[in-house]
Amino acid sequence: MLKIPFSKVSCDGNELAYVREVLASGWLTTAGKTQTFEELFRERVGARFAFAVNSCTAGMHLALEALGVGPGDLVLVPTMTFTATAEVIRYLGADPIFLDVEYGSSLVTQDILSEAVRKYPETKVFMPVHFGGQSAPLLSANGKGLLDLCREKAIRVVEDAAHTFPAKCLGRMIGSLGDATCFSFYANKTITTAEGGMLTTDDPAIAERVKIMRLHGIDHDVWDRFTADKPAWEYDVIAPGFKYNMPDVAAAIGLAQLERADIFHRERERCARFYRERLAGLETIDLPLVHGNMEDHAWHLFVIILNERSPVSRHRFIKIMAERGIGTSVHYKPLHRMTYYRERYNLRPEDYPNAERIWKGCVSLPIYPSLSDADLDYICKVIWEVLS
């Protein structure tokens, strides 16, 4: 029997070589490797500024803080996301307003956002989640994308792009569209630094604030104090900042991963195409709803939904898959079902019909570059056997 984990990182490029360079340098935390990683990533997504951080969560916190989000402010966020998207709102004393999503894509649509803005006209920020690697409809050929609506209403946009590198929306790279975009480089993401993230923006004011708040509110790069040729011990603290910097050891891994990002992307797309071809016609599941071109999707996740015709429950399906050596996961239990948010905001499942329908049957299948066609064939055969 094959053993196929849900996720498996590919680190067979220059990762070890670049990490050794950092170890040999005698300086392990934020320095030259991080700066190079920031610059190359910035160029890749077409943004004016990029800041490496120690998680996507940190990036979203910094972005909201830079926009002045605070107590009493309202921030729109989809319910189908990881808790980090909403928790950073609470860090600042603001309140999340949870939105339902489109069935099949788990994305916020123009209609959903329009209704939320009508209901909550005082909204300060919208946080679209590019679920699974697919861009939310920020742009639209008819000029009625999510960004257009937010700009009409003076709502700022902080994108949760934890799943979404590299991906595009109408030909433009995610990372160069909203007021700020935050990426994740966690171990199971499309590229990894083990732990880490990146914040990109074109806004000089956001960039200046993030640069200061990322590392204790200190007024210049701390590593210069220890690596400069001339004494540079003097510094000032101009705000009560955070400890959100990325160390060079992590950035070294990221640089090697970035070199192979296009290869990883092609291989993930290959897996997605295989699934879509081999699982087409299986009436007991719904395949991911894809808007636009397959190649514009980052394919971090491949989520099937066991629908009302499924002969087994999701719990039973996951158990059988594990017994057959196949790892799976669930993305996500929606936030309106989480105890903290449900009780604090008196949330009701019936207010989120699409998310509820997704949640009751969603299962994420393995999708990563090293999956062979034989692995994929085995997975699909088991799925057909269990669910047909």
Of 189, 319, 360, 381, the catalytic one is: 189
Measure the CA–CA gap between 361 and 374, rounded to whole angstroms.
26
Residues, the chain: 388
The residues that bridge with 98 in the sheet, in sequence order, are 77
Q: How many CB atoms lie within 10 A of CB 69?
A: 23
DSSP H/E element including 374: helix 373-387
Q: Which parts of 214-367 fold into alpha helices (H)? A: 223-227, 248-259, 261-279, 314-323, 339-345, 353-359
Structure tokens belonging to residue 146: 């999510």
Q: How far from chain centre, in Å, is Cα 213?
A: 22
Asked about 319 being catalytic, the answer comes back as no
Q: Strands 180-184, 156-161: parallel, antiparallel or unpaired by DSSP?
A: parallel
The residues that bridge with 168 in the sheet, in sequence order, are 173
Distances (CA, A) of 5 to 236, 304, 322: 48, 17, 9
Residue pointed to by tokens 């989120």: 352
* C-alpha torsion 149→154→156→161, nearest 10: 10
Question: Please, are residues 356 and 99 in contact by the beta-carbon 8 Å criterion?
Answer: no
* Amino acid in position 304: I
Measure the CA–CA gap between 117 and 123, rounded to whole angstroms.
7
Catalytic residue IDs: 189
